[in-house]
Every structure is written in C-alpha cells, then in structure tokens.
Amino acid sequence: MAEDITSTLKEERRFPPPAEFSGRARVRSMEEYEALYRRAEEDPEGFWAERAQELLTWDQPWEQVLDWQPPRARWFVGGRLNASVNCLDRHVATWRRNKAAIIWEGEPGEVRTLTYLQLWREVCRFANVLRKAGCEAGDRVVLYMPMVPELAVAMLACARLGVTHSIVFGGFSASAIRDRVNDAGAKVVVTADGGWRRGGIVPLKDSVDAALEGDACPSVEGVIVLRRTGQKVAMEPGRDIWWHELMETVDATCPPVSVDSEHPLFILYTSGTTGKPKGVVHSTGGYLLGTAWTSRMVFDLREEDTYWCTADIGWITGHSYIVYGPLANGATTVMYEGAPNWPEPDRFWDIIERHRVNIFYTAPTAIRAFIRWGDRWPLKHDLSSLRLLGTVGEPINPEAWIWYHRVIGKARCPIVDTWWQTETGAIMISPLPGATPLVPGSATRPLPGVIADVVDGDGQPVDGDQGGYLVIRKPWPSMIRGVWGDPERFEKTYFSQVPGTYFAGDGVRQDAEGNFWIMGRIDDVINVSGHRLGTMEIESALVSHPAVAEAAVVGRPDDLKGQAIVAFVSLTGDSDPSPALGETLRAHVAAEIGALARPEEVRFTDALPKTRSGKIMRRLLQDIAANRDTRGDTTTLEDATVLDRLRKKWDER
Ligand code: WTA
C-alpha cells in the first residue's frame, strides 16, 4: 500500500446525534441500527424485497429477489417497472402534483421551479421528441449539457422510453466526448448552445461539433440543441435541430415503456487503472431502490424538506442524489448551474438562505475552499433552515469537518460523511444521522445490507487496526452490472483480487469501534477535487503531443484539491525543456481531456525511474512530487542516478 495513506489519524472526538434529531429520525439509536444491520445480514433477500415493495412501484412483480452468479448479479428477476414513472407519474397521481420537484437557479440569477406535474409534462414531451428522433428501448443517448432542468428532463425522458443515457460532464473536451459517444454507440447527442460558468459561457455545442467532426462518430444520427445562453452556434443541416422547435411538435403525454428490472438505466464513464475510462452500467430496479432507500435513510429525507446536493449531474453523485434518489422519494431537489464563488464567495449560503434549504450535501474540496475564503461569507447569511449536512467524494480532514460542523451547522446539524463510488450506485458506508455517533474524518459504519470488510494483499481478512483493502462481500441492489462492452475488464477490475468479492480499490482501516477510515485509492487513480482521473488517461494525452517521448503522472497531496496532478515528462530528441513548453503541455492535456485534468506541474526529465523489467516506479515519483524522502526499497531501480536528477527541477540542474 502507498505509505502516505496508511498514516493513521487519531481522532478521539465523538459527536452523538442531537436528541431532537434522533427523536424523530427513522433509525433512532445504535441498537436500532444494529438490529436492522443484523436483519439484513441474516436475510438479505427478505430485507431488500421488503424495501423494494415499500419504496418502488412495479408494473410486474419479480419472481426471484436475487440471482447471484459471481460476478453477475440480477436483482428482482422478472420484475418490470419504469424509472420515470417512479420519479414522476406516481407523485403526479397524488397531491404532490403541485409540489416543487426541482428548484433551479441559473448562475446569472434566474430561478425556475418545476412542480412534479410540470416536470412530468416536460419529460413526456421530450420523450416524444426522442422517439421522433428514432430512439427506442435499448438505444443509447449521450447528454452533454449544462446544469439546467432540461438535463434532468432529458434523463427522465430516456428512462421513460427505456433508452440508456450516458451523461458526459460538461467540463470534458471534444475528444473525451468522442470516445464516450463511440464506446456507447450513441444514436443521439443532446447538448446546449452553452452553459454559464463564472460569468462566462462554456461552449458545449462547439465541443460536440469538434467531437463529431467528419465521420468521427458514425453511430450518431442527430444532435438536439437546447438554447440556454442565446449565443450563436453553427447548426449542421440534417443533423442538428433545436430542442424548442422539436418540443412544439409533440404531444404532452407519452406512455412509459415498462422495462425489465435489469434493463440498463444508464452508462457513466469513470476512470480506472488502465486504458480508457470504463462505462459503468447501472440497472433500473436495483439502482433505483438503492438511491431511493439511501436518500431516505442517510439524509433522513422528509416530505417537507428542501434538499440540495451541489454536485454536477455529470458525476454519479448528481445522478443518484440530485435526480433519481430525491425524485423517487417525491422530494424537492435544488439544482444550481454555476460556480460556488460567483459572483461572490457566498453564493451557496445565499441559495441556502433564500430557498430555506434543510439538507445540504457537498464535497470536502468545496469545504476547504470555503474555509480559505473566510467565515465572513457564511456568517452574512441566515442558515438556520439547515438540519443536516453531508459530504462525499474523498476523505474529509477532521479540521474541515469541525469547521463545517461549527460554522455551517452551528454545532446543531449532524454531518453524514458518505463513502461510495460510481460503481456502487448508492451510499454504502455512512452514519445514520439519528443513530450514529459522528467521528470527524470517518464515514463510520456500513449501511444495513452492506457487508464491508478489510483484506490484505492475499485477500485474507485483516485484524484490527491494520490497514488493508476495502471489499464488499455480498451483492447489493445498486451495484455495477458491468463495464459497457467489456465483460472481461469488469470481472478483472472488480471481482478477481478476491474471487467473487467486490474490490473497491480503496485503502481502508477499521478501528476497534468498527468505524471505517477510508484512506484513498490504492490504484493509479488520482482524486482531484473529488473527481476521479486515471493516470493512464493523462499520460496518453501527454504522449500524444509530438514533443513528448514518455510521461508518468502521479498525485501529490494538495491542501485544497486533495490531490494535485504532477507530470514527469521526457522529451523527444529535438525538443528542449522550457517553461513555455510546460505551459503548452498543460494546455494540451486540458484540450485532450478537460480542464480538470490539467497538470498542476510539469517536470522535465531525461529518464523515468524504472524497474529492470521496465515498469515505471510510481511510488518513487509520488515521493519526489511530494518533496519527501523516498522510503522503501529502491534496489530494483534500473538506474539509481535517475532519482537524484529527478529531485532537481530541470531549471536547477
Ligand atoms: C473516494 C463518488 C473517503 C473513494 C461518489 C472512492 C471517498 C472514490 C468518499 C469514488 C468518502 C468517495 N470518504 N473517500 N466519504 N467518497 N470517496 O466514483 O476513493 O467519483 O473510491 O464516486 O472517491 O469516486 P466516484
């Protein structure tokens, strides 16, 4: 295991749930939690079947709760349902038809509220648009959109038809879009003329044009373009068509297509150790159950709550906890388009005050930025509506936790530190806010139904406080169903280290109280501001530049972002290192993948440290990037002098 993540935190502070909170929570004590946990452990199928019955509306009941043929799980076999019906129609059929489903705020300041009925009508109409564009159950549609309600509309419209959506984060570049569109074989791309970010326009349509240029994406038959910013964009005749023009031509009702419980609801690409990002496939029934149940339990979601998750819908957190989980529960979900510090660093607190947000879910990297910007920004606002806070995406350092608790939560609101992944679909390890004593820096205990464990390199259970690898021993409903188009990679990545057991790829330690301490990725994935990036992707982008012969990328601890990207680069014969070339390479990576992958630092070197068998020794590079002494063995190094040269920056030699 990487040394830097096993440094053990000693955290003695405990924050028991406030009596007022516990008094009305769904799970009110650790005894209740333990009982529920035991029940789920003893009879997982009975446990999940009860929840699926209670929380979802099925068109046809299942015949079998679980069919588990590792690594393949099928949940609620034979059951049929529709995700958009579960998120909309069943609420529209009640008094909730006039309840706010989405409260949206655009970055320039406009506010739009869509009731369940209004959202349902938009979804039905857009489903008819997709149908007119030739989409039917089983097809894939890529969504590359800003954070506007139409993104949720497009997702739910796909779900209504049984079309599998694949959202590409709006910060990704043209070539990232192209790879994903081609891997998914998308028939239609839905985008917008642009989106607002820090007062500027993100030119989404231009990136789509560049991605599809020539015959780069042969599967794409049409591009639907939402008008958001009003800026002029090129419309290719026969391929591109405006969202609003199509919407005028269709009916406002659209019968839902009932799909099999296992039908792929969406594909979401995420970075892995090797090669291109992998398309994580999620099912309809199991995924919806996982997100609906955890929304209720972890966020203690109530009918009267206004709930806000600040993630981008381009990531799994937005899928599960802005759209599917909250809407399946008939909740009011807030959606914000832009940056947290636009026009001022109090934008989030202003939104909380004006919309009277009760539950607020954000990332440690954002919290660290708030701390840096200063207490005066949150203190300017009335945050008394808040009753629960959450974090996700990376380990939260205890100081940031304490600040969040004190300055935002006024020592009154429980904080749920939620561990999960794109692959798990829903939250797996988290406090239950009415029951669990909170431990700053720990996601505490697995939820009922989640059999988490710590193993060593041989897959053997690890004793007590030693670090190890996080595994999940039993299947759960919202688990990844496959890697799109690559069953071998699916099995190899997740179910081969410990055969038949899900391998999360995170280092972890479990303390004597049973609390889990997530220590970060053990593979070559870098977590920058809570976003997963594969070192391989960035290295491939670097070597695609003609000046680069070889590249190795590592993460370096960073106070704000969690990790920052450092690239070690050796150049081709006719190129010389210079600050300008460093800048060019940084910009090149941003253009190839997206700004979030831009290296913080490029270090030139004549050679990379390699083993005699030619493997780059990343551990050494991590130490050098972090400016710390190299611990551990360097005897396998092919050329020991490389290390000394690497320690010096190129301009100091
Ligand atoms: C990390 C985001 C510590 C972890 C939902 C995981 C966390 C990866 C936490 C998944 C947490 C997420 N504490 N680490 N509360 N939440 N992580 O797929 O390394 O974007 O494997 O899913 O983020 O990132 P992903």
Q: What is the DSSP string of 521-579?
A: ESSSEEEETTEEEEHHHHHHHHHTSTTEEEEEEEEEEETTTEEEEEEEEEE-TT----H
417 Cβ inside 6 Å of ligand 1: yes
The more confident residue out of 457 and 37 is 37
pLDDT digits (tens, 9 = 90+) for 579-615: 999 999 999 999 999 999 999 999 998 888 887 777 7
Do 16 and 23 contact (CB within 8 A), yes or no? no
Residue with tokens 């939250």: 427
Q: Residue 430 C-alpha to ligand 1 middle, in angstroms? A: 12
Contact present, 199 and 173 (Cβ < 8 Å): no
Query: Is the CB of 418 inside a 6 Å radius of any atom of ligand 1?
Result: yes
Contact 266, 286 (CB under 8 A): no
- pTM (2 decimals)? 0.93
* pLDDT attached to residue 11: 75
Whole-number Å distance between alpha carbons of 382 and 426: 31
DSSP symbols for 228-240: SS-------TTTE
Please give the distance, rounded to the nearest whole angstrom, from the Cα atom of residue 120 to the centre of ligand 1: 32
- Is the C-beta atom of 298 inside 6 A of ligand 1? no
Average pLDDT of the residues in 236-246: 98
Residues 6+ apart with CB under 8 A from 568: 551, 552, 553, 554, 603, 605, 608, 621, 625, 646
Give pLDDT, residue 534. Answer: 87
Percent of the chain beyond pLDDT 70?
A: 95
pLDDT at 653: 42
Q: Is any ligand 1 atom within 6 A of the Cβ of residue 392?
A: yes
Mean pLDDT for the stretch of residues 140-150? 98
Q: Provide the total of helices (H) and of strands (E) in the chain, helices listed first.
A: 22, 30
Q: Is 421 in the pocket of ligand 1 (CB under 6 A)?
A: yes
Mean pLDDT of 466-488: 96
Residue 636: the pLDDT is 66
Average pLDDT over residues 273-292: 92
User: Is 442 near ligand 1, meaning CB less than 6 Å away?
Assistant: no
pLDDT at 3 over 80: no
- Determine the atom of ligand 1 nearest the C-alpha atom of 443: 15
CA of 420 to the centre of ligand 1 (A): 5
Confidence band for 295, pLDDT divided at 50, 70 and 90: very high
Q: What confidence score (pLDDT) does residue 632 get?
A: 60
pLDDT digits 0-9 by tens, 419-436 = 999 999 999 999 999 999
Confidence of residue 6 (pLDDT cuts 50, 70, 90): very low
In the predicted model, what is the mean pLDDT of residues 283-293?
Answer: 98
- Tell how strand 72-77 and strand 64-69 pair up: antiparallel
CB 196 within 8 A of CB 106: yes
Residue 629: other Cβ atoms inside 10 A: 7
Residue ID of nearest Cα to ligand 1 atom 24: 421
| Contact assessment for residue 322 and residue 333, using Cβ atoms and an 8 Å cutoff | yes
Give the residue carrying structure tokens 């939560």. Answer: 409
pLDDT at 244 over 60: yes
Of 271, 280, 259, 596, the C-alpha closest to 426 is 280
H or E, element range at 507: strand 502-510
Sign of CA dihedral 574, 595, 157, 425: positive
Q: Could you give the 3-state DSSP secondary structure of residue 157?
A: helix
Looking from the CA of 429 toward its CB, the CA atoms found within 13 Å total 28
Regarding the beta carbon of 312 and ligand 1, being less than 6 Å apart is answered: no
